[in-house]
Amino acid sequence: MTISETMMAAVIHRHGGPESIAYEAFPRPTPSLGEVLIRVRATSINRLDLWARSGPPVKIFPWTEPDFPLISGSDCAGEVAEIGEGVMNVHPGDRVVLYPSLFCGHCDYCRVGEQTMCLRYHIFGEHTYGAMAQYAVAPAANLVVLPEHASFENAAAMPVAYTTAWRMLKSAGIKAGDSVLVLGVGGGVGTAALTLARRAGATVFATGSAEWKREQAISHGAENAVDHTTGPFSDWVMEQTDGRGVDIVVDPLGATWEESIRSLARGGALVVCGATAGNKPEFDIREVYQRHRRIFGAPMGNWADFNRVMALLFHDEIAPVIDSVYPLAEIADAHRRAESRESFGKIVVTC
């Protein structure tokens, strides 16, 4: 293998701590029919990247044991380096950003535009080699051309977290004047939900375990914030809303469902995208149906959701909250930052 056939990548050979990621030469992929080779310029860290390296804390559907080596990285922004046969929507040199959901395009769900419900749904960078490398191969149909004024770093911070948050709020039927509680506000989905809910005209309350994160949430538009680890936060929510409760709770934590449900107004919606604090919550179902409350799941958003949220960036209507930027060679430090609970917003990795 010659040097021209390799690239530098963050390669995971085994589960372990941040030191288990190797920054090393790896075979450079080649695009096949309908695919594009992307010269990756930026990606960002999501919970999937941490679990790819460490292993998930609990066995959560649809996790299976991976085949090592792994290259994670579901968010991807860069330039088209080479196109495979049949590609016509992008050209070499185009600046692009990737929709990370991979789908068949033919099943009943795909035909109605619900790609994340696809019977063959999988995720770029989780079930395939991803963007934590100088080059990555992806379906051309998943690419959107990036305007010149939009930075690779901002674009790479958006796809997973902001598309997920958009779908969550859309599923709940958010509208101007609503009240929203965002749990775990310092994470990628949390900061995305805060940004998008404020843009929609909602009043946002937030939770965070650290005082400085709560202060950051308020500086980014939250009405108020509380530490959800110190006791029943639903009591605090009721105090903030004069006993009414909030219209929407954005919950990526999982174990907090009992308090999340109790924080809802009548007819309110709990929207869920993760189980980072536990996947087996206990709650009284009567607190759901007796008050006409609803529960929605959102693993990400569909193609239309992705395009809508990226358009907000392209038209300078929102900007992602970025905590820090690391070069790919310092990927272990980027993982340490993500696991330290000292970050607020997305951690971007440049390639």
Same domain, 287 and 220: yes
Residues 228 and 153 in one domain: no
Quickly count helices (H) and strands (E) in the chain.
11, 17
In a domain, 110, yes or no: yes
Q: How many residues does the chain have?
A: 351
pLDDT of 62 reads: 52
Instruction: Report yes or no: 187 and 48 within 8 Å, Cβ to Cβ.
Output: no
How do residues 72-90 score in pLDDT, each as one tens digit? 999 999 999 999 999 999 9
145 and 62 co-located in one domain = yes
Dihedral class, residue 125 (left if φ above 0, else alpha if ψ from -120 to 50, else beta): left
**Token digits for 114?**
């619900």
User: Which range of residues forms the domain containing residue 29?
Assistant: 3-157+321-350
Assess whether 172 and 145 both reside in one domain: no
Q: Are residues 136 and 12 in the same domain?
A: yes
Determine the straight-line distance between the first and last CA of the chain, rounded to whole angstroms.
22
The model's pLDDT over 163-179, given as tens digits with 9 standing for 90+, comes to 999 999 999 999 999 99
189 and 109 part of one domain? no
Residue 26 shares a structural domain with residue 152: yes
Return the pLDDT at 67: 82
Q: How many domains does the chain have?
A: 2
> What CATH number is associated with residue 185?
3.90.180.10
**Spatial separation of the C-alpha atoms in residues 43 and 286, rounded to whole Å:** 43
Question: CA angle at residue 74 from 321 to 152, to 5 degrees?
Answer: 50
Q: Give a yes or no: residue 178 inside a domain.
A: yes
pTM: 0.94
Inside any domain, residue 310:
no
Q: Residue 2: its pLDDT value, please? A: 37
Q: How far is CA 304 from CA 99, 105, 145, 301, in A?
A: 10, 14, 15, 8
Measured between alpha carbons, how far is 79 from 101 in angstroms, rounded to an integer? Answer: 19
Residues 43, 149, single domain; the answer is yes
Q: Read off the pLDDT of each residue in 247-260 and give the average, rounded to a whole number.
A: 90
| Confidence bin at 130 (pLDDT 50/70/90) | very high
Is 56 part of any domain?
A: yes
Q: pLDDT at position 249, please? A: 97
Same domain (yes/no): 57, 183: no
Residue 173, domain member (yes or no): yes
CB 115 within 8 A of CB 101: yes
At residue 306, the 3 state secondary structure works out as: helix
Residues 7 and 103 in one domain: yes
28 and 88, same domain (yes or no) = yes
Q: Could you tell me the pLDDT band of residue 59, with boundaries at 50, 70 and 90?
A: low
Lowest-pLDDT range of 1-5, 196-200, 247-251: 1-5
86 and 61, same domain (yes or no): yes
Percent of the chain scoring above 90 in pLDDT: 86
Instruction: Supply the DSSP string of 89-151, one letter for each residue.
Output: S--TT-EEEE--EE--S-SHHHHTT-GGG-TT-EETTTTS--SSBSEEEEEGGGEEEPPTTS-
CA neighbor of 40 nearest in space, from 166, 122, 143, 126: 143
Q: Is pLDDT larger for residue 149 or for residue 61? A: 149
Q: Please indicate, yes or no, if residue 251 is contained in any of the structural domains.
A: yes
Asked whether residue 315 is assigned to any structural domain, the reply reads no
Residue that is written with structure tokens 């088209």 in the block: 80
In a domain, 120, yes or no: yes
The whole-angstrom distance between residue 143's C-alpha and the CA centroid of its chain comes to 17
C-beta of residue 150 within 8 angstroms of C-beta of residue 52: no
- Cβ–Cβ contacts within 10 Å for residue 60, how many? 13
DSSP-assigned beta bridge partners for residue 8: 25
